Amino acid sequence: MGVVAIALLLIQLPAIAILLSRLLKGPGRYPPLKPKVAPPDLLGQVSIVVPHFE
């Protein structure tokens, strides 16, 4: 029984190492996207793209 327990612990060591390495790095979230400000000459204008089918 003792040999089986030690074997199971050894099998889990790589998974523990991967988990701890990811946890120690901290969260890897990117900051949220911010809207771009339109130049003054484009304010109040609308552009439309119409697909051309043949």
Kindly report the pTM of this predicted structure.
0.41
pLDDT of residue 37: 84
Q: What are phi and psi of 45, to 5 degrees?
A: -105, 155
| Strand runs labelled E in the chain | none
Residue 28 CA from chain centroid, whole number: 7
pLDDT tens digits for range 1-54: 799 999 999 999 999 999 998 888 777 777 888 888 878 887 788 888 898 887
Q: Which two tokens stand for residue 35?
A: 């809207």
User: How far is 26 from 22, CA to CA, in rounded Å?
Assistant: 7
pLDDT of residue 40: 82
